[in-house]
Amino acid sequence: MGKDDATQQVSSSSQNQHCIRCDDDANCNVNKSNDDEQRHFESVCTAYRQYGDFSISQLRQRDFRLKALSDSQRKLLPVGLKIGAPECTKRFKDYRDATIRNQFCLDCILKHAGQPHSQQRESLDVDAAKRYVTDDQISKVSSVLKSLSRDWSEDGRVERDMAYSPIKALIHKYLPLESLSSDFRWIPRIVVPGAGVGRLAFDLAAMGYSVQGNEFSLYMLLASDFILNNGGNFCNPERPLHISPWLQESRNVHKSTDPLRTIQIPDVDPVAILMPPIQDEEATESKQVPEFSMAGGDFVSIYNHDQEAGQWDCVASCFFLDATPNIVETLQVIYKMLKPGGILVNLGPLLYHWCGPPMRPGDNSLQDCRRRYSLLDDRYFTSIDLSYDDVKVILEKVGFEILEEKTGIQCYYTADQRSMMKTEYQCVSFVAKKTIF
């Protein structure tokens, strides 16, 4: 969410529904209490609304390029690419239908957030004036659709089994719930940073843990809020939404129909699972009920506060540590927020999302490099790209004891299983316990 420190929480209420709760001390994105946050919020919503325009423009670009071919070259094209042919018209219609499916999903998310959707945009100044968002913003919206497929579809189960199942198994091993008394039991509290659209956090809550997901991207937060809190009003497994997450992928495609294929979401109803109808109110009141919430904002800004110190039993980190601009600071904050004996369960690669541009021979300082890339976020100049061996040394110096580790865990991340190209990560997994000096 830009550079703001806003905290938004989406939590379960006592009325068998979910609600949005904002911390009193935070500048809440939902209330849009300052101008920067409001502009960012509106920009994200605009990107959601304009997705369809950009999608159709991509199709038009292909048509323009086909028309630019010479007559002799156009004669060699398959009939499905010959402008005016019925087969080509059908391709356009199928692509347009897929665009409509995706836009409908995004519109449902906007409607749930109380924001105008794509069919209402002419009443908005930014849309009426045709002020379009950036390609990067549309890429983030496309990433939301892919993440929804990864987290909330049956098709995404393969990736979830690769990445989430090992984490859940390790948490079950080191924080077993069945060893606790069923009445007035202590329920371990877990934070899931980089929660995305919320499936890992939900799965842990469904296991019986008290969980708080944390996510920085407002693009993801809007989608997770919709999936986790809509209560089946918009979609559920019996009445799913259909999306085409890889619609805008034009490279490494086997069949022209592959990007158009539909994925159904969600595969489960989170509200029905986390908040089933109450059968015995007296029995329910006598037991501690696990909490589930989502906190939106920068991880360090939220959990480095003194009130968070020593409050958590576990941090479940999946594809997260390398997504922070300063992994050393992140590990320090995790150590601070954990209770004595609390654990960090991590699985992921070391891609380092904030890896900055290289210095040139003429750069005599980091500031010289920054001046050449003055438009880049400052965080691109704070990241240090460490090896796993280096990370382990820092873990121990921060105060962690590594209880177990495993390398070479094969994982994909929002990969198109039908594509000619899939990035395969050989991830590391470890459990580290907070020790007291």
Distance of CA 133 to the CA centre of its chain: 20
| CA-derived radius of gyration, the chain | 23
User: Is residue 13's pLDDT more than 60?
Assistant: no
Burial of 255: CB neighbours in 10 Å, binned 0-12, 13-18, 19+? exposed
Q: Are 210 and 187 in contact (CB under 8 A)?
A: yes
Mean pLDDT of the chain: 88
Distances (CA, A) of 328 to 25, 143, 314, 378, 392: 26, 27, 18, 17, 11
**pTM as predicted:** 0.89
Residue indicated by tokens 């300063």: 326
Neighbours of 271 (CB within 10 A): 20
Q: For 309-356, how does the pLDDT look when each residue is reduced to its tens digit (9 = 90+)?
A: 999 999 999 999 999 999 999 999 999 999 999 999 999 999 999 898
CATH class of 8-350+386-434: alpha beta
Cα–Cα dist 342/347, whole Å: 17
Q: For 241-268, how does the pLDDT look when each residue is reduced to its tens digit (9 = 90+)?
A: 999 999 999 999 999 999 999 999 999 9
Between 150 and 179, the more confident residue is 150
Rounded mean pLDDT, 167-171: 99
Q: What is the pLDDT of residue 378?
A: 86
